[in-house]
Amino acid sequence: MSEAQTLLLDGQEVALDKEGYLVSLEHWNEVVATTLAAQEQITLGPSHWEVINLLRIFYNRHQMSPANRALVNLVKRDLGSDKGRSIYLMKLFKGSPAKTASKIAGLPKPENCL
Protein backbone atom coordinates (compact mmCIF):
# COMPACT_ATOMS: atom_id res chain seq x y z
CA MET A 1 0.00 0.00 0.00
CA SER A 2 1.48 3.31 -0.98
CA GLU A 3 -1.15 5.75 0.24
CA ALA A 4 -3.89 5.95 2.84
CA GLN A 5 -7.09 4.12 2.05
CA THR A 6 -10.59 3.62 3.38
CA LEU A 7 -12.63 0.52 4.14
CA LEU A 8 -16.37 0.77 3.53
CA LEU A 9 -18.13 -1.46 6.07
CA ASP A 10 -21.85 -1.42 6.74
CA GLY A 11 -22.12 1.98 5.08
CA GLN A 12 -19.39 3.52 7.23
CA GLU A 13 -15.94 4.57 6.12
CA VAL A 14 -13.03 3.34 8.21
CA ALA A 15 -9.77 5.18 7.51
CA LEU A 16 -6.50 3.29 7.24
CA ASP A 17 -2.98 4.66 7.05
CA LYS A 18 -0.62 3.87 4.17
CA GLU A 19 0.40 0.56 5.83
CA GLY A 20 -3.19 -0.56 6.45
CA TYR A 21 -3.41 0.22 10.18
CA LEU A 22 -6.50 1.93 11.57
CA VAL A 23 -6.17 5.69 11.78
CA SER A 24 -8.65 5.83 14.67
CA LEU A 25 -8.47 2.90 17.09
CA GLU A 26 -12.08 3.40 18.24
CA HIS A 27 -13.31 2.25 14.81
CA TRP A 28 -12.18 -1.31 15.54
CA ASN A 29 -14.72 -4.09 15.91
CA GLU A 30 -14.94 -7.75 14.91
CA VAL A 31 -16.13 -6.90 11.39
CA VAL A 32 -13.18 -4.56 10.90
CA ALA A 33 -10.83 -7.24 12.28
CA THR A 34 -12.24 -9.87 9.95
CA THR A 35 -11.89 -7.53 6.97
CA LEU A 36 -8.31 -6.57 7.86
CA ALA A 37 -7.48 -10.26 8.30
CA ALA A 38 -8.98 -11.08 4.90
CA GLN A 39 -6.71 -8.44 3.34
CA GLU A 40 -3.80 -10.42 4.81
CA GLN A 41 -5.35 -13.66 3.47
CA ILE A 42 -6.12 -14.87 7.00
CA THR A 43 -9.41 -16.42 8.11
CA LEU A 44 -9.81 -15.75 11.82
CA GLY A 45 -10.47 -18.70 14.09
CA PRO A 46 -10.50 -19.15 17.89
CA SER A 47 -6.69 -19.27 18.09
CA HIS A 48 -6.41 -15.95 16.29
CA TRP A 49 -8.99 -14.35 18.56
CA GLU A 50 -7.09 -15.50 21.67
CA VAL A 51 -4.03 -13.58 20.51
CA ILE A 52 -6.03 -10.58 19.25
CA ASN A 53 -7.87 -10.23 22.55
CA LEU A 54 -4.62 -10.63 24.48
CA LEU A 55 -3.02 -7.89 22.37
CA ARG A 56 -5.94 -5.54 22.98
CA ILE A 57 -5.71 -6.10 26.74
CA PHE A 58 -1.96 -5.49 26.62
CA TYR A 59 -2.48 -2.29 24.62
CA ASN A 60 -5.11 -0.98 27.03
CA ARG A 61 -2.70 -1.49 29.93
CA HIS A 62 0.51 -0.24 28.31
CA GLN A 63 -0.62 1.99 25.40
CA MET A 64 1.75 0.20 23.02
CA SER A 65 1.82 -2.83 20.78
CA PRO A 66 4.51 -5.40 21.62
CA ALA A 67 7.27 -6.27 19.13
CA ASN A 68 7.75 -9.93 18.13
CA ARG A 69 9.87 -11.11 21.05
CA ALA A 70 7.63 -9.38 23.58
CA LEU A 71 4.55 -10.85 21.86
CA VAL A 72 5.98 -14.37 22.10
CA ASN A 73 6.68 -13.85 25.81
CA LEU A 74 3.23 -12.39 26.41
CA VAL A 75 1.51 -15.31 24.68
CA LYS A 76 3.71 -17.81 26.53
CA ARG A 77 2.86 -16.21 29.88
CA ASP A 78 -0.89 -15.88 29.29
CA LEU A 79 -1.76 -18.71 26.89
CA GLY A 80 0.92 -21.32 27.65
CA SER A 81 4.27 -22.43 26.33
CA ASP A 82 2.75 -24.45 23.48
CA LYS A 83 1.33 -21.23 21.99
CA GLY A 84 4.12 -18.91 23.12
CA ARG A 85 6.44 -19.89 20.30
CA SER A 86 7.45 -17.89 17.25
CA ILE A 87 6.57 -20.71 14.86
CA TYR A 88 3.04 -20.97 16.29
CA LEU A 89 2.45 -17.22 15.92
CA MET A 90 3.97 -17.17 12.42
CA LYS A 91 1.51 -19.86 11.33
CA LEU A 92 -1.40 -17.78 12.64
CA PHE A 93 -0.25 -14.36 11.47
CA LYS A 94 1.78 -14.31 8.27
CA GLY A 95 4.91 -12.21 7.91
CA SER A 96 5.78 -10.51 11.17
CA PRO A 97 3.28 -11.84 13.74
CA ALA A 98 3.51 -8.71 15.90
CA LYS A 99 2.81 -6.38 12.97
CA THR A 100 0.07 -8.47 11.39
CA ALA A 101 -1.71 -9.31 14.65
CA SER A 102 -1.55 -5.69 15.83
CA LYS A 103 -3.00 -4.50 12.52
CA ILE A 104 -5.89 -6.97 12.75
CA ALA A 105 -6.41 -6.09 16.43
CA GLY A 106 -6.83 -2.45 15.42
CA LEU A 107 -3.66 -1.33 17.20
CA PRO A 108 -0.73 0.82 16.08
CA LYS A 109 2.29 -0.75 14.46
CA PRO A 110 4.66 -2.09 17.13
CA GLU A 111 7.74 0.02 17.73
CA ASN A 112 11.02 -1.46 16.52
CA CYS A 113 9.26 -3.32 13.70
CA LEU A 114 10.29 -2.38 10.20
- In angstroms, the CA 54 to CA 73 distance is 12
Give pLDDT, residue 66.
94
Task: Count the helix, strand and coil residues of the chain and give each as a percent rounded to the nearest 5.
Answer: 50, 10, 40
pTM here? 0.90
Q: What is the pLDDT of residue 12?
A: 83
Burial (0-12, 13-18, 19+ Cβ within 10 Å), 97: buried
| Residues annotated catalytic, as ranges | 113
Per-residue confidence (pLDDT) for residue 43, from 0 to 100: 98
Per-residue pLDDT, 55: 97
> What pLDDT does 7 receive?
85
From first to last of the 114 residues of the chain, give the pLDDT tens digit.
Answer: 456 688 888 778 899 999 999 999 999 999 999 999 999 999 999 999 999 999 999 999 999 999 999 999 999 999 999 999 999 999 999 889 999 999 999 999 887 655
Which structural domains are found in the chain, ordered by start?
A: 5-104 (1.10.10.370)
What pLDDT score does 1 carry?
44
